[in-house]
Chains A and B, each alone.
Chain A
Amino acid sequence: MKQAIKIGLIGGVVEILLALIGMIEAFSQRYIIIDIISMGHTLIFLVALLMTSLSAKRTPHGNPLRAMINALTSGLIIGGFLAVLVVMGSLVNLRKVFINASPLLYQWLTFNQGIKAGIPLLLTGGALCGFLAGLLFLSSKLFRRVLIISLGSVVGAGVLQDLLRPTFALWGPLSVMNEWLFSANGLTLYGAIGLFVLIAALSYVWAKKGNVIRANLNGLSPSNQRVLRITTFLTLIMILLVLPQILGLFLSEVLTIVGLYVLLGLGLNIVVGFAGLLDLGYVAFFAIGAYSIAVLTSPELGFFNLSFWGALPFAIFIGVLSGFLLGIPVLKMRGDYLAIATLGFGEIIRILVLSDVLRPWLGGAQGIGKIPKAHIAGIEMATPQQIYYLILAGCLLVGFISWRLRDSRLGRAWMAVREDEDVAQAMGINLISTKLLAFATGAAFSALSGAIFASKLGSVYPHSFNVMISINIICLVIVGGMGSIPGVLVGAFALVGLPELLREFAEYRLLVYGAALVAMMLLRPEGLWPEPLQRRELHEGESSDAKPNH
């Protein structure tokens, strides 16, 4: 009971925080199911459900009645907190301090019913969440899983409506689905129910038959398995090649941004993930790559006037060189000191570029413009759909290099350094060259990304290279799983792609990043798609079935 009250209190505080920082109001502009439930309300319910099911789960001895009571208590407390907020808001003008405590917020919180009807409604809502969480807790595992997956996909479809709608519209016959599934803002009721039933059926069948199919696949002869793997790989490549044509302009643009971050992430993955050197100034190499291209190609400065392809090798070479140069001073540092020193380097580079001292060469605060586009076989890579191929080629190349490096002698040396520098040195690994190679390889990938970035935008400004980019890349590497190459992809899509699609909530992007990093470190330090080794290490001593495998 004490536990339930505590969880309820935490949940209540979280809900109030969500309301006051304006997330609920901002999210309420978008409906999941038109005129029935908005994203803001979904957020409230989601938090309440999560907290109440935690409360049910934490019940000692798994007593069903007490679990139910605990969940109900927590739910009531959460509802009560929101009710208190609404009452407070109507008595005092909270807006003087909290700018988001607007009348609209209270309207959303009380479901447009006014205060008198809203407060009992909030309390019942809280209790209802508790009841649902209790029911879910008591029901069978299969039922819970099917329900969560299908509800999740309805919410997902609602959240990503702007992605799905134009995509369906491009697919000729499939565009009929739009009419049925979506309205102007959110899913239609029938669409949502249909989707729910469809996904529920699919996931039910998969849960029942999935093991059999998997067993069949594993039972294939080795040569057949190989054929299967190669076909999957080829299909994947084919899909990647036609993707921009299917997705249209806006989504291709999003893909190019994700691609640039994948490049950066793969580079940092070598430095942080493989070699364990936490580099917070990684954006410096991105900037160096972009500025090299700008200085070498831009007619605005007129020093060299090379073409993109003529300048690219130089840009990467300068990146590698700066990786070495910045790597030498920090060779002896470890952990925290290294992080801060590299952060300092990143800032020094930005301040230098921004200053008037280097203006004649680097353009100062105005940056450098008129950077020519890249040409392939006489075609100018100008639209996002064309640049996509450039970036895809870069990603495939860099991905291949990282994949091969990982199992090479050098890769194993990196991992040894990550695990324990002193032991690695004792085993005969040359720390200096190993670390410098990690910095240089990471810098090369980053410079490549910077070069493409510069030619994509056609101009570079010092403000595009602030410390936030470094933090973004660190986040995506860590959320994906340190040292894991597919993890970088997952991280880039989750942390760069998703926020690009939800542009109207850009204000909350870094807030969610921060929360995701903390939550990740507390709950799942190995990342979303971890390397097996990393996972084993971080869960030493825990039972082996504690975490589900991907």
Chain B
Amino acid sequence: MLKRWRERITPTDVVMWFIGGTLLLLMFWGSTATLIEGRYTSHHWFDFLIFGLAQGSIYALIAMGYTMVYGTLRMINFAHSEVFMSGPYTAYFVAAAFYSSGFLDRQPILSLIFIFLVSMATSTLIAVLLERIAYRPLRTAPRLVPLITAIGASFFLQYTFRGLYGSGFQAYPVVKILEGEWMFGVFRILKFQAVVIVAAALLMTALYLFVQRTRMGKAIRAVSEDKEISSLMGIDIDRMIVTTFVIGGMAAGAAGVLYAVMFKQVHFFMGFIPGIKAFTAAVLGGIGNIPGAMLGGIFLGLVESIGPSLFLDGLGIVAPYQLKDAIAFIMLVLVLIFRPTGILGERLAIKKA
């Protein structure tokens, strides 16, 4: 047993374990130092938690698109971040029109629903066009080819939207009923954060039920299991692939409005960072795995909002929040190295990746 182990270990493994161990040790040391120093009160931690949950549920919604497309096509839809951006950016003009006509204040719920619909429709349209024009002709091409196409499509879309809508930041109008806070005993929750969490949870449940319980969901799962055999079983592969893009686009469009509600602005470049984070979330949860993507998104959101204060503050690092994105990327790299199958993943990565 021991001998077998020793034969399988290569020098690179040792180096990797060394790096991983050091990072773990640093994390542990940092957290204990922070907690002992007692720099943050429980109120702070609760705020971090809620913010992390809200941000994480947005990541989770975007991650659905990555994970479903990966499941059916075995490719990273690099342009998904632009699918995410296109929705809220287009819906901004609807929101602005509602705001200036006063409709937003009179019928806030109705107009929010309408904004959601516009955003989801746009994102879905972009996702479907992307599939039809850029990805469908390349389904049998070598692996690198669709990935490069996706990168190209991502930049094309970004700068097309920049050309169409302009390069500045657009401030989303404030929805009055989402301002303010609720108090639960001593803890407070900002209203919009609560709304983001609840809306995202509802959407994710709906998507999960769709994929698990409906006939179409079953077909999608069959296609991601094995394309050839499912086509022999009479499933229209093309239609199912388009459906995954539609679902991913809808989720991304909804996530986009939630993002706009939270950060109150849209920009043509806004998709890039959330896109990579959401991909990280999808990998974290095990790519191709839908509940995994949700879990991964929320986990990443939490680590990002709590991590800098918890791990880094205790190490005496100045301005730890600047390193928030670095934490997310380090997580990504670590997961890819140590557990490429993710938290809930099957052993996809080695066989098919």
Q: How far is the CA of A348 from the CA of B19 in the complex (A)?
A: 16
Residue among A98, A357, A515 facing the most chain B CB atoms (10 A cut-off): A357
- Is B160 a contact of A521 with CB atoms below 8 Å? no
- Is B149 a contact of A328 with CB atoms below 8 Å? no
Nearest CB on A from B92, distance (A): 9
- Is B159 a contact of A478 with CB atoms below 8 Å? no
- Can you list 30 residue pairs at the A/B interface with Cβ under 8 Å? A278-B148, A328-B15, A329-B16, A329-B337, A333-B340, A337-B283, A337-B336, A340-B279, A348-B330, A355-B323, A355-B326, A356-B319, A356-B322, A357-B317, A357-B319, A432-B10, A432-B12, A474-B151, A507-B162, A507-B167, A508-B159, A508-B163, A511-B159, A511-B160, A511-B162, A514-B153, A516-B152, A517-B152, A518-B133, A522-B149
Q: In the complex, which residues 288-345 of chain B have their Cβ closer than 8 Å to any Cβ of chain A?
A: 317-319, 322-323, 325-326, 329-330, 332-333, 336-337, 340
Nearest CB on A from B326, distance (A): 4
Q: How far is the CA of A340 from the CA of B143 in the complex (A)?
A: 14
Stretch at the interface among B28-36, B134-142, B191-199, B215-223: B134-142
Q: How far is the CA of A357 from the CA of B149 in the complex (A)?
A: 37
Interface: B183 (CB within 8 A): no
Q: How far is the CA of A331 from the CA of B148 in the complex (A)?
A: 21
Q: In the complex, which residues 502-546 of chain A have their Cβ closer than 8 Å to any Cβ of chain B?
A: 507-508, 510-511, 513-518, 520-522, 525, 538
- Is B157 a contact of A344 with CB atoms below 8 Å? no
Q: How far is the CA of A393 from the CA of B11 in the complex (A)?
A: 38
Q: How far is the CA of A520 from the CA of B141 in the complex (A)?
A: 13
Stretch at the interface among A16-24, A71-79, A102-110: A16-24
Task: Write out the residue numbers on chain A whose beta carbons fall within 8 Å of the beta carbon of B329.
Answer: 344-345, 347-348, 351
Q: How far is the CA of A330 from the CA of B134 in the complex (A)?
A: 28
- Is A351 a contact of B159 with CB atoms below 8 Å? no
- Is A344 a contact of B76 with CB atoms below 8 Å? no
Residue among B155, B166, B317 facing the most chain A CB atoms (10 A cut-off): B155
Q: How far is the CA of A514 from the CA of B161 in the complex (A)?
A: 13
Q: How far is the CA of A333 from the CA of B154 in the complex (A)?
A: 23
Interface: A318 (CB within 8 A): no
Q: How far is the CA of A21 from the CA of B162 in the complex (A)?
A: 8
* CB closest chain-B residue, reference A432: B12
Interface size class of B (residues with CB under 8 A): 35 or more
Give a binary string over A213-244; 1 marks a CB under 8 Å from any B CB, 0 the rest. Answer: 00000000000000000000000000000000
Q: How far is the CA of A100 from the CA of B144 in the complex (A)?
A: 36
- Is B326 a contact of A337 with CB atoms below 8 Å? no
Contact of B147 among A329, A339, A351, A352 (CB under 8 A): A339
Contact of B76 among A339, A357, A516, A521 (CB under 8 A): A339
- Is A97 a contact of B165 with CB atoms below 8 Å? yes
Interface: B281 (CB within 8 A): no
* CB closest chain-A residue, reference B153: A518
Q: How far is the CA of A23 from the CA of B93 in the complex (A)?
A: 22
- Is A331 a contact of B325 with CB atoms below 8 Å? no
Q: In the complex, which residues 5-39 of chain B have their Cβ closer than 8 Å to any Cβ of chain A?
A: 10, 12, 15-16, 19
Interface: A354 (CB within 8 A): yes
Interface: A6 (CB within 8 A): no
Give a binary string over B163-200; 1 marks a CB under 8 Å from any A CB, 0 the rest. Answer: 11111000000000000000000000000000000000
- Is A521 a contact of B152 with CB atoms below 8 Å? yes
Interface: A92 (CB within 8 A): no
Interface: A343 (CB within 8 A): yes
Given A336-B353, A348-B330, A356-B322, CB of A518 within 8 Å of CB of B149: yes
Prevailing SS type, chain A contact patch = helix
- Is B283 a contact of A518 with CB atoms below 8 Å? no
* CB closest chain-B residue, reference A341: B336
Give a binary string over A339-379; 1 marks a CB under 8 Å from any B CB, 0 the rest. Answer: 11101110110011011110000000000000000000000
* CB closest chain-B residue, reference A21: B163
- Is A514 a contact of B152 with CB atoms below 8 Å? yes
Q: How far is the CA of A522 from the CA of B152 in the complex (A)?
A: 11
- Is B76 a contact of A514 with CB atoms below 8 Å? no
- Is B156 a contact of A514 with CB atoms below 8 Å? yes
Contact of A510 among B155, B165, B276 (CB under 8 A): B155
- Is A513 a contact of B152 with CB atoms below 8 Å? yes
Q: How far is the CA of A22 from the CA of B167 in the complex (A)?
A: 12
Interface: B349 (CB within 8 A): yes
Interface: A550 (CB within 8 A): no
Q: How far is the CA of A90 from the CA of B239 in the complex (A)?
A: 40
* CB closest chain-B residue, reference A525: B145
Contact of A517 among B143, B151, B319, B325 (CB under 8 A): B151
Q: How far is the CA of A347 from the CA of B323 in the complex (A)?
A: 11
- Is B147 a contact of A278 with CB atoms below 8 Å? yes
Task: Write out the residue numbers on chain B whose beta carbons fall within 8 Å of the beta carbon of A356.
Answer: 318-319, 322
- Is A515 a contact of B166 with CB atoms below 8 Å? no
Nearest CB on B from A476, distance (A): 12
Interface: A96 (CB within 8 A): yes
Nearest CB on B from A9, distance (A): 13
- Is A355 a contact of B322 with CB atoms below 8 Å? yes
Interface: A426 (CB within 8 A): no
* CB closest chain-B residue, reference A280: B151
The 3 closest A-B pairs by CB, nearest first: A517-B152, A21-B163, A514-B156
* CB closest chain-A residue, reference B97: A96
Given A357-B318, A514-B157, CB of A351 within 8 Å of CB of B145: no
Task: Write out the residue numbers on chain A whose beta carbons fall within 8 Å of the beta carbon of B133.
Answer: 518
- Is B323 a contact of A351 with CB atoms below 8 Å? yes
- Is A344 a contact of B155 with CB atoms below 8 Å? no
Interface: B75 (CB within 8 A): yes
- Is B163 a contact of A515 with CB atoms below 8 Å? no
Nearest CB on A from B333, distance (A): 5
Nearest CB on B from A278, distance (A): 6
Q: How far is the CA of A436 from the CA of B162 in the complex (A)?
A: 39
Q: How far is the CA of A525 from the CA of B143 in the complex (A)?
A: 12
* CB closest chain-B residue, reference A329: B337
- Is A521 a contact of B145 with CB atoms below 8 Å? yes
- Is B156 a contact of A518 with CB atoms below 8 Å? yes
- Is B155 a contact of A511 with CB atoms below 8 Å? yes
Task: Write out the residue numbers on chain A whose beta carbons fall within 8 Å of the beta carbon of B326.
Answer: 347-348, 351-352, 355
Task: Write out the residue numbers on chain B whose beta carbons fall within 8 Å of the beta carbon of A276.
Answer: 144
Contact of B349 among A337, A355, A432 (CB under 8 A): A337
Interface: A302 (CB within 8 A): no
